[in-house]
Chain A
Amino acid sequence: MKPGLVLLCGMLVVNVWLPAHAQSSAAKQIKGWQSQGAAAADPQQGKLLWFSKHGVRSCSSCHGASPLEAGQHAKTRKPIKPMALSKNPARFTSQRKTEKWFRRNCKWTWGRECTAQEKVDILSWLSSQ
């Protein structure tokens, strides 16, 4: 009885709570950027941004063409877990981490920080995948 209960709770956490938590966490961050002036989320625009290039660099240089698949760091070859929420429920659960990587990666990829609108669109696309 007891191990079964623990297993059930574990499954609930992994299959229900974690994805829901990630969804709500992503939604909260999107709302945060919207309060800074961003408009409604446009996932299709987010997809376009994913592939949009500055020189030879785009998000997909390291994350791969599909956010459902694992990526690989262009230089160090270190594997990068999938960005899609459905494949990786741990994504976007920490706002600090999301902001850190947007700051670093937008600067590396496009040579500038991303706007609040761009973050809204990209995150909405990734969390809908």
Chain B
Amino acid sequence: MTLDMRMLERLADAAARGGLADAFYDTVDTTVGPLLVVVTGRGVCRIAFASEDAEAALAPVARLVGPRILRSRRHIEPAAGALSSYLAGERSELRLPVDLTLVRSPFQAEVLAALTAVPRGSVTTYGELARRIGHPGAARAVGTALGRNPVPIVVPCHRVLPSTGGLGGYGGGTERKRLLLELEGVRVS
């Protein structure tokens, strides 16, 4: 069993003051369900849906960013607040600094970077994204790269659909993909 919130926040504050924390995490309740949000000094480095295992989601952060990761709601603000109000439809923009340390291949980095050119309310296809980064025909590899997006919602991989129609896959499940698109006014049958 864990400590109470007061002790956890006190520990997080002292660790932050002493430069002893590599990252902070907590679970944030949102309209698309609870999200595990991990924040480093550089930005949001991992967002995981409740359907993913929290320990499995944190393990690569420990390995690649550092093992000194502490639970603290206070220290994942303002990212947590921005995410929950965006997903509640209270704000139309979600601009948060991201830390892409968990992105390990240049190809995946390119795919995720290309997504920033797909604005809220619009969609693209895996094939189109592949063409955009100069790898026509690599639609499947683009799909794999998006499936490993460490920061879904903030890097909007839900805006990528199959050219054959339908929703395609999504790390958080296709129903969440539909919800996220509907929030942006996009309806997919």
Are A and B interaction partners?
A: no
